[in-house]
């Protein structure tokens, strides 16, 4: 009998996940006898679900809304580099003397950086200051990733100023500035990178009065929203002649470390994979 390695993506609900398409493509491409299944898990059932990794039924999987924070609480071992994010999206088996334990990590931080590395090589050379729009869960990973690459400040600007300030103090103390969206114009002239981590852009929504025209002409603007692929923010940036990177690549790259942990092969983010997922947007 062939031993099929089973992985999952759990959420509540789980219908719209594109992860099965991504991992299914890699399984096929590498000829691996494995599966990657979307499973709906209600919040109360999460602790028991993790036992199915400990029992060996699953090699691991992805965790999406609303389970990321609870997964961080529940794992047996935490990835040191992303522990501070207090939210995990990737679980895998950790063999121990007593049996199989659950290891958790957050690969959104990696996915965000790897996307820029692939789509805009050299983006961080001489990078001084970056603006992060938003202060939610996604902003935590992006701000922590940027803290590894900027020489100056990570400027976290949020609709609700308090949340921006709290995130800045928590995630990148001494290297971050928290503020409100109204601070954008004053900070734009010496900012080389802008990242939208808010839900603004979905369904064609846009920021009011965001003065992209005050950014240096060499600035890069990126969005983690990928439906639509070209958000109004990216369209405005393009119209001004600024460089842009869309958010689809972050989704693809965040999947890489999980696949490697579960199936033992480090997969690649290729134009073919991108086209496959893009066709579903
Ligand atoms: P996630 O975990 O996906 O980042 P979240 O924690 O709900 O989601 O955070 C959503 C982010 O989008 C927040 O920064 C939110 O701003 P507030 O903290 O002020 O709520 C931001 N956001 C949502 N709708 C917005 C809008 N219309 N304009 C500006 N920011 C918005």
200 has pLDDT over 90: yes
List pLDDT tens digits, range 142-173: 999 999 999 999 999 999 999 999 999 998 88
Binding site membership of 92 for ligand 1 (Cβ less than 6 Å): no
Q: What share of the chain is helix, strand, coil (3-state, %, to 5)?
A: 40, 20, 40
| Angle at which helices 256-263 and 108-119 cross, to 10° | 120
Binding site membership of 66 for ligand 1 (Cβ less than 6 Å): no
| pLDDT range class, residue 203, cuts 50, 70, 90 | confident
pLDDT, residue 2, reads 61
| pLDDT range class, residue 1, cuts 50, 70, 90 | low
Portion of the chain with pLDDT greater than 90, in percent? 95
Whole-angstrom CA distances from 95 to 47, 76, 102, 239, 254 are 19, 11, 9, 52, 23
The pTM (predicted TM-score) of the whole model is 0.96
204 has pLDDT over 90: no
List pLDDT tens digits, range 58-109: 999 999 999 999 999 999 999 999 999 999 999 999 999 999 999 999 999 9
- 32 Cβ contact list (under 8 Å, min separation 6): 5, 26, 263, 265
Portion of the chain with pLDDT greater than 70, in percent? 99
Catalytic positions, please?
A: 68
Tokens of 208: 């009011």
Query: For atom 26 of ligand 1, which residue has the closest CA?
Result: 200
pLDDT, residue 172, reads 83
**How many whole angstroms separate alpha carbon 131 and alpha carbon 186?**
12
Q: What is the mean pLDDT of residues 225-243?
A: 96
Distance 210 CA to ligand 1 centre (A): 16
Question: Strands 34-40, 5-11: parallel, antiparallel or unpaired by DSSP?
Answer: parallel
Query: For atom 9 of ligand 1, which residue has the closest CA?
Result: 136
């Amino acid at each position: 009998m062939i031993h099929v390695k089973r992985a999952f993506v759990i959420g509540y609900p789980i219908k719209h996940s594109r992860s099965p398409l991504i991992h299914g493509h890699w399984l096929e491409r590498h000829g691996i006898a494995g599966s990657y299944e979307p499973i709906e898990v209600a919040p109360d059932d999460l602790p028991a679900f993790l036992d199915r990794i400990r029992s060996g039924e699953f090699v691991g999987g992805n965790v999406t809304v609303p389970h990321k924070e609870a997964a961080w609480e529940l794992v047996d071992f935490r990835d040191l580099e992303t522990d501070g994010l207090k939210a995990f999206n990737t679980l895998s088996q950790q063999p121990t003397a007593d049996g199989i334990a659950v290891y958790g990590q957050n690969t959104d931080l990696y996915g965000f950086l790897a996307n820029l590395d692939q789509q805009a090589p050299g983006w961080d050379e001489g990078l001084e200051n970056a603006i992060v729009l938003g202060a939610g869960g996604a902003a935590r990973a992006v701000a922590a990733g940027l803290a590894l690459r900027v020489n100056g400040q990570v400027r976290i600007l949020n609709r609700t100023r308090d949340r921006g300030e709290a995130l800045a103090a928590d995630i990148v103390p001494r290297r971050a500035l928290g503020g409100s969206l109204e601070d954008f114009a004053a900070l734009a002239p010496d900012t080389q990178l802008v990242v939208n981590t808010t839900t603004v852009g979905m369904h064609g929504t846009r920021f009011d009065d965001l003065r992209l025209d005050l950014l240096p002409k060499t600035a890069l603007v990126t969005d983690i929203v990928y439906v639509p692929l070209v958000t109004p923010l990216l369209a405005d940036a393009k119209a001004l002649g600024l460089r842009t990177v869309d958010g689809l690549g972050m989704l693809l790259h965040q999947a890489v470390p999980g696949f490697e942990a579960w199936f033992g092969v480090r997969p690649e983010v290729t134009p073919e994979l991108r086209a496959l997922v893009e066709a579903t947007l």
